[in-house]
Amino acid sequence: MPAPELSDPSLKKQLSFFCGEWRAAASGDSFPVFNPASGSQIAAVPSLSAPEVNEAVEFAADAMRAWSEVPAPRRAALLRAWFEEINRHSADLALLLTLEQGKPLAEALGEIAYGASYIEWFSEEAKRLYGEMIPAPSNDRRILVIRQPVGVCAAITPWNFPNAMITRKVAPALAAGCSIVVKPASQTPLSALALAELASRAGLPPGVLSVVTGEASTVGTALLRHPLVRKVTFTGSTETGKKILEECAKSVKKVTMELGGNAPFLVFSDADLDAAVEGLMASKFRNSGQTCVCANRVFVEECVLEPFLAKLLPAVKNLCIGNGWENGTTQGPLIDDSALRKVESLVENAKSLGASVLLGGKRASNENQFFLPTVLTNCHHDMALAKEEIFGPVAAIFSFHSEEEAIRAANASPVGLAAYFYSRDIGKIWRVAEALEVGMVGVNTGTISNAMAPFGGIKESGFGREGSKYGIEDYTNLKYICMAGISS
């Protein structure tokens, strides 16, 4: 079945957006964007050079001077207008997202609403960027603290949520009075460019939001090296995050790092097993397992393993792979061939070390990038999938005998983004929630992310928070003003 058409084809942009205009690369170079479900090319976007990125940053710095002086209620209103433009075009944005990323249309629509909710939230927070008065050590002075925009920001974003990973960064930056230059993932630039088009239609001033496309090594590096970029916000792998941190250290940029996870999902014997299966399906198989908060290691208390699997297997069998825009599809393709090969090698490694394949375990028989929804049991800590993010539709089931053993196993990872557990014992719930070494815990739920809550990790999952009242802090500098001579 052919893909449907956009109702507003002008949302499919094949130019970069910077210096207040839509531009091709001066060199004429571009790179292709593919539909991962069919492998066919759907667009080509510019491969910008470092001087072009520098120009974008310098224009953004000029734009920011005026933007930071726009009164907060006006900035809030412009963000709100952007939010409304997105809602008006949500069907087209979802379709573009599905075409370049592969996720089912229903999930894409969910991402558009979720992404937009950050713009709504931070449009409101723009008006609440309060300072503080602190009791002074003597009567002749006052201690004031104000918040000021940090400067031009650079956002480097991944392909798994091509819309929401951008709005989560751009909205607080703009709310705080910063300008921001976004480098979207090369696999999924179209969602970013459509967001920029709608921002422009909503009346956001030129240069406040730019989207620059091209090679990570050229565009990313130029952003990281530019002295006018004062803040870098990154979502992606821990490996790439470490390289970005090294680069940012050279000019001491402020950084937010949303890096990889290895979420444990614990099912205790007193859990509501139906709820646990429902939570696992949402956490594990959403986006075909390609999310950083996906359940990566599923620990089930030995005495309920059998009844848990008896409920899980039919739910996984019900999943339906296919083109994201087709009715009934619940599982899209993996993003590219290297993602597919990685999942394959993790499953092969687990099998060679004793895992049993209860379902799936291999590519789908078509020639495209689909991996069958998979359930593995008898998993253990020495397998590569216990240490690495699977990033695919593979539920790896481990078992445990005690609360203590479960917590120790869950925490045996250098990363700490999200964790989930199911129990109905209130004492255990507090003990386990407090003992898990992660930034976010879902108790009796497999879905935790929303604009009101602080999203982020600890350990090698990074630092900084996105969403919530905390999410705007990283886009501001605190300034202390000591006002003396008051009593004379």
How far from 471 is each of 114, 181, 376, 484, CA to CA, in Å? 15, 18, 37, 33
Smallest CA-to-CA distance from 410 within 442, 363, 453, 369 is with 442
Smallest CA-to-CA distance from 121 within 463, 454, 477, 458 is with 454
**Using rule CB under 6 A, residue 225 touches ligand ADP:** no
Q: Which is nearer to ligand ADP, 22 or 31 (CB)?
A: 31
Q: Which is nearer to ligand ADP, 218 or 374 (CB)?
A: 218
Q: How far apart are the first and last CA of the chain?
A: 81
Among 90, 179, 191, 240, binds ligand ADP (CB under 6 A): 240
**Cβ-Cβ contacts under 8 Å for 39 (sequence gap 6 or more):** 368, 369
Among 148, 221, 449, 477, binds ligand ADP (CB under 6 A): 221
Cα separation, 137 vs 22, in Å, equals 54
**Using rule CB under 6 A, residue 251 touches ligand ADP:** no
Cα separation, 21 vs 8, in Å, equals 20
Distance of closest approach, residue 234 Cβ to ligand ADP, in angstroms: 7
Give the interface segment with ligand ADP, choosing from 156-164, 172-180, 275-283, 378-386 (CB under 6 A).
156-164
Give the interface segment with ligand ADP, choosing from 45-53, 128-136, 179-187, 349-357 (CB under 6 A).
179-187
Q: Which is nearer to ligand ADP, 220 or 279 (CB)?
A: 220
Distance of closest approach, residue 259 Cβ to ligand ADP, in angstroms: 8
Cα separation, 376 vs 350, in Å, equals 8
Helical (H) or strand (E) element with 301: strand 295-301
The total number of residues written for the chain in this structure:
488
Distance of closest approach, residue 368 Cβ to ligand ADP, in angstroms: 19
How far from 279 is each of 263, 307, 418, 469, CA to CA, in Å? 13, 16, 14, 27
69-84 in b/e burial notation, b at 16+ Cβ within 10 A? ebeeeebbbbbbbbbe
Is 16:347 a contact under the CB 8 Å cutoff?
A: no
Distance of closest approach, residue 241 Cβ to ligand ADP, in angstroms: 7
How many residues in the shown chain lie near ligand ADP by CB under 6 A? 14
Among 80, 225, 243, 428, binds ligand ADP (CB under 6 A): 243
Q: Cα 428 to the chain's mean position, in Å?
A: 30
Among 216, 384, 433, 443, binds ligand ADP (CB under 6 A): 216
| CA atoms in the 13 A half-sphere facing the CB of 207 | 17
**Using rule CB under 6 A, residue 156 touches ligand ADP:** yes
Q: Which is nearer to ligand ADP, 409 or 417 (CB)?
A: 417
**Using rule CB under 6 A, residue 158 touches ligand ADP:** yes
Among 68, 87, 237, 411, binds ligand ADP (CB under 6 A): 237
Ranges assigned E (strand) in 85-151: 132-134, 142-149
Give the interface segment with ligand ADP, choosing from 133-141, 178-186, 261-269, 324-332 (CB under 6 A).
178-186
CA dihedral for 444, 450, 453, 455, sign (positive or negative): positive
Q: Which is nearer to ligand ADP, 115 or 322 (CB)?
A: 115
SS3 content of the chain, % helix, strand, coil (to 5): 40, 20, 35
Q: Which is nearer to ligand ADP, 339 or 350 (CB)?
A: 339
**Using rule CB under 6 A, residue 185 touches ligand ADP:** yes
Q: Which is nearer to ligand ADP, 312 or 343 (CB)?
A: 343
Q: Which is nearer to ligand ADP, 14 or 237 (CB)?
A: 237
Distance of closest approach, residue 339 Cβ to ligand ADP, in angstroms: 8
Distance of closest approach, residue 183 Cβ to ligand ADP, in angstroms: 6
**Using rule CB under 6 A, residue 220 touches ligand ADP:** yes
Of 423-482, binders to ligand ADP (CB under 6 A) are none
Furthest CA-CA distance within the chain: 84
Give the active site residues.
258, 292
Cα separation, 205 vs 394, in Å, equals 45
Distance of closest approach, residue 141 Cβ to ligand ADP, in angstroms: 45
Give the interface segment with ligand ADP, choosing from 236-244, 280-288, 431-439, 450-458 (CB under 6 A).
236-244
Question: What does the binding site for ligand ADP look like in residue numbers (CB under 6 A)?
Answer: 156-158, 183, 185-186, 216, 220-221, 236-237, 240, 243-244
